[in-house]
Amino acid sequence: ETGVTQSPTHLIKTRGQQVTLRCSSQSGHNTVSWYQQALGQGPQFIFQYYREEENGRGNFPPRFSGLQFPNYSSELNVNALELDDSALYLCASSPNRNRVGNYGYTFGSGTRLTVV
Amino acid sequence: GQQLNQSPQSMFIQEGEDVSMNCTSSCIFNTWLWYKQDPGEGPVLLIALYKAGELTSNGRLTAQFGITRKDSFLNISASIPSDVGIYFCAGLNNFNKFYFGSGTKLNVKP
């Protein structure tokens, strides 16, 4: 079975631009969570999607938004990029009934976003 | 801000030694998770804990859910070079918020 795949692996954007990051969940997983990991820090929970709806959100402003598609893949969109948005963005998928919960059973390798 | 305090921040040990790291919070947690992250990769789930007092092992790794529900520890026995990496605790607190700790960087000298 394939794991979680994220694209692109690296990205450079200019302050004020918009960016879309993509995530394909592991086969059989229908819940996707997104995290922001600044250099030297632990990941911070952005939000989670289940059955194409947002199912929980961390302390991130509305310019961070997402989508989940019928095949359970997901997008993270960030508008009006700021320099502090530079980070590794991680996607994690989880099977619906797993006791670990929906927050991080299998992680992708992330997208490294640099805002200049 | 960070809801989980993870310590130590980094460790340098000799191959074969045992390692212990812990995570504490001022809030009650309902689930504790421990992950390992290698450079350029996402975190990999090692152990999940679901109730106070629970002690769970995964090979040379053992983790416990503290009785107060405000802490957890991870032990690694007989460390080997491939144990090198950053270990993160994470958990779901009683406000249904999910947090990661700031990590413990483990270095193992052969």
DSSP conformation letters of B19-76: EEEEEE-SS-EEEEEEEEE-TTS--EEEEEE-STT-EEEETTEEEEE-TTSSEEEEEE
Interface contact B100, partner A, CB < 8 A: yes
- Mean pLDDT score of chain A, rounded to an integer? 91
A22: nearest Cα among A35, A36, A5, A38 = A5
A92 at interface of B, judged by CB pairs closer than 8 A: yes
CB A86 within 8 A of CB A74: no
Put simply, the answer to whether A43 touches B44 (Cβ < 8 Å) is: no
- Give the residue-averaged pLDDT of A76-95: 96
What token pair was written down for A67? 């989508």
A94 contacts in chain B (CB < 8 Å): none
pLDDT band per the 50, 70, 90 thresholds, residue B67: very high
Across the interface, whether the CB atoms of A45 and B103 are under 8 A apart is answered no
Cβ-defined contact of B103 to A42 (cutoff 8 Å):
yes
Reference A79, options A103, A61, A58, A52; nearest CA is A61
- pLDDT exceeds 70 at position B104: yes
pLDDT digits over A13-64, tens only?
999 999 999 999 988 888 899 999 999 999 999 999 988 999 888 999 999 9
DSSP state of A40: T
Q: A50-54, B44-48, B78-82, B106-110: lowest mean pLDDT where? A: A50-54
- Looking at residue A96, what is its pLDDT? 67
Find the CB nearest A107 among B31, B40, B42.
Answer: B42
Q: What is the C-alpha to C-alpha distance for residues B46 and B6, in angstroms, rounded to an integer?
A: 16
List Cβ neighbours of A71 (8 Å cut-off, separation of 6 or more): none
